[in-house]
Each structure stands twice: as structure tokens, then as C-alpha cells.
Amino acid sequence: MADTLRQGGDNMTDEYQTTSSFYRGLAATSIVGAVVAFGLAACGGEVDNAAAPTPTQTAPTTMQVRNAASACSALAGAGVPASAIALPTQGATITSASLVAADNTTGLPDYCQVLGKVLATNSSDPAINFEVNLPTTWNFKALQLGGAGFNGLLVTGLGGPIGGIQNWPSDEKQPLAMNYVTFGSDGGTTPDGTFGLNAQALANYGGESVKRTHDTALYILKAFYKTVPHRMYHIGGSKGGHESLVAAQRYGSDYDGIVAYYPANQNQAMVMSWFRMWNAAYATPGGALDPAKQALVRTKVLAACDGLDGVVDGIVSNTAACQATFSINSLRCSGGADTGDTCLSDAQINTLMTAATPMEFAFPLANGVTSIGPYPVFQGGDVERALFDPFGTDGTHTVYYSLDEPVIKYFDQQNPNATSTGFDYRAWQPRVTQLSNELDATNPDIDAFHLKGGKLILVQGTTDMLVTPNQTTAYFNKVAARYGDSASSFVRYYVAPGFGHAGGTFALQWDPLTALDGWVESGQAPINPVVTDGNPATKGRTRPLCEYPQFPKYKGAGDANSASSFVCADS
């Protein structure tokens, strides 16, 4: 392996200087003083022996890296020792490190872009490719970003659908431009799910890549800045949200704040429930709904439920009242046979009722999970593409199929020649249980995270047909039950009506990083933060993001496109 990096000593070297801005709060002074006094591996060169802040001083909030080009190039070709990574590896190699100039188009600042690989203990197992972005002006904070789908694509930390925070406002600066160190990885997997045949890659997918990537990035960060971060955050959505919960549950002492958007935290339960719905639609003759019938259901749901929040705006906000109001049987074709697009056959009603009914498992999964669902098909759920095939009639173009098939083939059956046809999870109980224990993030015990003072934000949309809102709610309720009245001091759960899996009728846009950082630094949790709709037709309309179980209710007067006209209500 290449020479390992050498990290900072008692004080920052003369290549680094702090700015005149100050770190929030006197409480941080003792933390920073401890950082300055903490001895890392000895570093070369002259050392600036400036004294640590005294109890009457506050520490700086930013630092400027002098001679950044040479400091960055010094990282190239170096390595991270295996001892710096808590989980087994052969260490990590840095394949490139280059200073990237500020870009007025993207808004990104000068930063050192570091690319590399975390090497598996067994050289035949796949490595984890990573990227760490080190701004030359640093706010002493770092942000780890989660992946998506089966991972396999490098999360750059530079913004965009793969490299940034989900649902990030288009007019906001990226975290790197806000002087955060950002980093991510490809999870050590492949986007097609075939990695399920490799035990180490599967373990990385289950969450081990979160720790390996974190520890590697932290070592590189310390080598570059010659000090440690004051704050470490993790943000992700879907699979990345699963990784956010992995961070909280398994590696909580590493993080000060975490945001999990619509977390896909139950691999086997989700796949089994999707497969159950898909079978009702496509393994049952006439079970699928064509686009006209999908539109019929949506129109009838909106007619019954849209106004239950006080305003007709195309969004079902009062989902609890909607469940008690809408009946799918009102759309049944006379006699139950399919007679056209103005009604639903019994087979089609069965498909929707399968989705709208919780799936009870034949045996418990990890952490005692015994069911999943229901899915929000009668609350405006985004059924197109998820459940129903927009490009054919056999269901192979649905999102459910594209995710189920690889998991059932490569994860469960571990046979590249197998198919999902006729798969019965009950016949695979030992393997399903093993995978649930390895992959799921459903443990309500987040004591280490809580004891560190960490803050957790959960965000879920009401129309998500991949991660049902009931799934996220079930996890939140378990956490709330474990911690009682103290739960609200470090966990907040926000629900966005009309928001699906990253999009929806209300395509939520929000900067959760600033909200999270404010909570961590000031102790003030976000209270009904205002979020924006990013859909072109309704772009700019706003709503309060209410804490569960509340929803945004129209006050009865005012602009229906403005959050100020709504109040978070229980009913």
C-alpha cells in the first residue's frame, strides 16, 4: 500500500489560519480546546504554537487553508491505514487528489477533491469507491450523504440527483458552497443488484459501507486540516434514508445530526409487500388498472377527500379523515366484471385492497417487525410506475418489478438463474430472517446517538408508494415508545401531504441541513418549517411542514398557495 497519510498534531500548522468569525456559543469552547489539545499522529513541518481558546474566548467558526494546492496534492497516492477504519478492511488508497477552482456557474468554492477506494479484507471482494470534498475555507463541519436504489453509483457530494441532498431547493447553495466538507461513496455495490451474490458487498449494502466510508473520510479530513470536525452530519433519502437510520442505530456516536427522508429501512418486508401487490395486479387475470382507471380512482379520491383540509388544492392533507370517508366499492362495475374505464372490476378492486391492507408476516422479522403497510392507494398514492406498468401490460416495467426481481434472485435465492415467478417467502424463512437482520434498520435503540446529543429528523410523504408512510410512522412510534417524553428533545418526524417518493403532487423542496444544524447548535428544533412545491405548474406554492400526526389545515381565508394561510392541526 502507498504511504499512509500523516495527521495533525497538537495545533494547526502554519498552512492554516482561522478567520475572525466565532463559533456559536461558549459551550463549544471546551470542545474545541479539547480538539486542539488532542494529539493525533505527528505531522511534519513547522507548527503554529498559538494558544488554545481560553474559557473567556469563543473559538473560530471557519478556517482558511493556505497553500491549499500543495496541501491537496500531498494527499494523492497516499493511503489510509486499516487501523483508522473500525470495520475490517485493508485500508484505503487515494487514487487522486486535486484542487478544483471555484466555479461561478455551480456556485462551488475552491476545494480539494479526493477520490479513492476502501479495500476489502479479501482482495477478491469489491472495493468501496469514495469521494471527499475539502473546501479551502472550512466551517469545521462535515456532511456524509447517503446513496440510492442498489447503490453502485458514486455519491459525489457536489449536488444533483445522485451527488446531493434529496429535494434540495434549486435556488439554494450546495452544502460544499456553505463550507461543509461533503463525502459519499458507491457503497461497494453495483446498480443492478447482482452484488447480492457476494457476502461482503451485501454486508456493505446492509450498512457497513456507512461506517467504512465515514472513517476513511474522517481520516483524510484530519490529514488535510490538521484538526477534527466540530460537527458530523448524515443526510439521505430512500436507500440513503436507510443509511441515515443505520448511522443513528449502529454508529450513533459518530454523528451530531441525521436527516432521513422516506427511509427504505425494511428490505425484506418492502420487497415482500411489493411482490404481493405486483402479483395481485399481474399474476391475477385482469388485476392491473390502465391509466384511465388509475385516473378514475384519483379523481374519486380527490372528490371525496381533497376538501377535508379546508381547501381544494389537489392534495389530500387530512389522510385520517379520508380513510374514513372514501370507499372503493363505490367504483365497482355492476356484476364485478370489467365493463370499461368508468368502473373497476372485482380483480382490480382486489389489487387496490391488497395495497390498502397491511401485510402480516408468517414469522417476525428483525426487531420484532410483524407487518408492513398499508400503502396509500386511497390517499392519492403515486401508483403509476410503482405498481402499474406505464409501458406495457406484463408489469415488467414497474418500479416494484425492477426492485423485487434482483432481490429475490440474488439476495434471497442467491441464484443468478432464478426468477421471482412463484417465489414464496415462507419457504425461505431462514434466509429471509438472516437478510432482515443484516439489512434492516428498524432498531428503536439509538442510545449512543442520544447520549452524544444527536438530533434526528424524519421526513415522509403521504403518497409514497415505495416507502409507505405507515412504515416510517411505525418506526417513529417505536422510538417514541422507547424514550417517552424525552423523545421530542432529539427526534422530530415531519409528514408532507401530497409528497411521494422524491416527487408527487407537492414536490417538496427544503434545506434540511440548515434546519438540522440550527437544532444541533441552538437546541431549537424546526417548528413547522415552510417548504416549497417544486412542480412547474404549482412552483412556488408553500406549506408548513407539520409534525406527525398534524397536517396543514387551511385557515379559511388567505392565499391558498401560501403557507401563512395554513395551520398545523390534529383534525
Q: Are residue 278 and residue 220 in the same domain, yes or no?
A: no
Per-residue b or e along 254-290, where b marks 16 or more CB atoms closer than 10 Å to that residue's CB: bbbbbbbbbbbbbbbbbbbbbbbbbbbbbeeeebbbe
Pick the last residue of a domain from 423, 439, 455.
439
DSSP 41: S
Grid cell digits, residue 97: 487528489
Q: Find the range with the poorest average confidence among 156-160, 347-351, 545-549.
A: 156-160
CA distance 378 to 353: 9
209-225 and 239-250 helices, crossing angle to 10°: 80
| Mean pLDDT value across residues 408-426 | 96
- The DSSP annotation for 235-261 comes to EEETHHHHHHHHHHHHSGGG-SEEEEE
Domain, as residue range, for 404: 269-439
Residue 26 lies in a domain: no
| Mean pLDDT value across residues 106-122 | 97
Residue 56 lies in a domain: no
Q: Are residue 523 and residue 414 in the same domain, yes or no?
A: no
267-282 and 429-439 helices, crossing angle to 10°: 130
Q: How many CA atoms lie within 13 A of 65 on its CB side?
A: 26
| Mean pLDDT value across residues 182-190 | 98
Q: Are residue 206 and residue 294 in the same domain, yes or no?
A: no
Residue 27 lies in a domain: no
Catalytic residue selected from 306, 464, 511, 533: 464
User: Is 542 strand, coil or helix?
Assistant: strand
Residue 428 lies in a domain: yes
Catalytic residue selected from 185, 209, 238, 436: 238
Alpha helices in 425-554 (DSSP H): 429-439, 447-451, 469-483, 512-522
Task: Compare 22 and 358 and report the one with higher pLDDT.
Answer: 358
Distances (CA, A) of 568 to 67, 87, 543, 550, 553: 51, 44, 10, 6, 6
> Are the beta carbons of 184 and 254 closer than 8 angstroms?
no
Confidence tier at 565 by pLDDT (50, 70, 90): very high
> Are the beta carbons of 459 and 259 closer than 8 angstroms?
yes
Give CA 32 to chain center in angstroms. 29
Q: What predicted TM-score, i.e. pTM, was given to this entire model?
A: 0.91
Q: Are residue 420 and residue 467 in the same domain, yes or no?
A: no
Residue 509 φ/ψ, nearest 5 degrees: -125, 130
Q: Are residue 420 and residue 305 in the same domain, yes or no?
A: yes
Confidence tier at 77 by pLDDT (50, 70, 90): confident
pLDDT tens readout for residues 499-558:
999 999 999 999 999 999 999 999 999 999 999 999 999 999 999 999 999 999 999 999
Query: In the prediction, which pLDDT does 382 show?
Result: 87
CA distance 391 to 382: 16
**Residue 254 pLDDT exceeds 80:** yes
Q: Are residue 319 and residue 426 in the same domain, yes or no?
A: yes
Residue 3 lies in a domain: no
Is 501 tagged catalytic? Answer: yes
User: Is 69 strand, coil or helix?
Assistant: helix
Residue 45 lies in a domain: no
Query: In the prediction, which pLDDT does 161 show?
Result: 82
Q: Are residue 383 and residue 421 in the same domain, yes or no?
A: yes
Q: How many domains in the chain?
A: 3
Grid cell digits, residue 70: 500543495
Pick the last residue of a domain from 439, 462, 492.
439
Catalytic residue selected from 501, 511, 533, 565: 501
Torsion-angle region of residue 527: left (phi > 0), alpha (psi -120 to 50) or beta?
beta
pLDDT tens readout for residues 477-502:
999 999 999 999 999 999 999 999 99
Q: Are residue 435 and residue 456 in the same domain, yes or no?
A: no
Give CA 567 to chain center in angstroms. 27
CA distance 372 to 309: 27
pLDDT tens readout for residues 261-276:
999 999 999 999 999 9
> Taking Cα atoms as reference points, which of 133, 169, 140, 142 lies closest to residue 64?
140
Q: Are residue 174 and residue 91 in the same domain, yes or no?
A: yes
Q: Are residue 86 and residue 193 in the same domain, yes or no?
A: yes
Pick the last residue of a domain from 439, 465, 492.
439
Residue 57 lies in a domain: no
CA distance 364 to 490: 29
Residue 479 lies in a domain: yes
User: Is 453 strand, coil or helix?
Assistant: coil
Query: In the prediction, which pLDDT does 15 show?
Result: 41
| Mean pLDDT value across residues 14-32 | 35
Q: How many CA atoms lie within 13 A of 432 on its CB side?
A: 20
CA distance 144 to 141: 10
Q: What pairs with residue 108 in β-bridges?
A: 103
Q: Specify the pairing of strand 181-185 against strand 128-135.
A: antiparallel
Q: Are residue 495 and residue 540 in the same domain, yes or no?
A: yes
Q: Are residue 430 and residue 453 in the same domain, yes or no?
A: no
